[in-house]
Amino acid sequence: RMTHTVVLDGPPPWGFRLSGGRDFNQPLSLSRVTPNSKASMAKLGAGDLVVAIGGVPTEDMTHTEAQSRIKQACHQLSLTIKQPE
Ligand code: LEU
């Protein structure tokens, strides 16, 4: 499947929980999206794979590193997403 990039306008909360990361040997994904949140309005959903954060590939990111990159992006958050099959 193709990837697509969504840009969320801050401030947080964005309205999702992350799971996975290199330290878990799991791809980074959204494990929960809060109804009516910024993430939900942008059509993000549970199970979506997060392939890049701010244009930086998540492939080698630990869970904590990904989380801190998201926390740094307080004005705008760019997520590149691959939706599950
Ligand atoms: N739970 C946070 C939010 O929805 C994201 C987390 C990855 C820091 O803003």
3-state secondary structure the chain: CCEEEEEEECCCCCCEEEEEEHHHCEEEEEEEECCCCHHHHCCCCCCCEEEEECCEECCCCCHHHHHHHHHHCCCEEEEEEECCC
Give the residue, out of 8, 17, 37, 58, with the most ligand 1 atoms within 8 A of its beta carbon, to mutate for a pocket test: 17
- Lining ligand 1 with CB less than 6 A are 12-18, 67, 70-71
* CA-proximal residue: ligand 1, atom 9 (nearest): 13
What's the pLDDT score for residue 66?
98
What's the pLDDT score for residue 57?
98
Whether the complex's predicted ipTM is more than 0.85 is answered with yes
Residue 74 has pLDDT above 90, yes or no: no
CA 78–ligand 1 middle distance (angstroms): 13
Global model pTM greater than 0.90: yes
Q: Of 84 and 42, which is predicted with more confidence?
A: 42
CA 85–ligand 1 middle distance (angstroms): 24
Residue 51 has pLDDT above 90, yes or no: yes
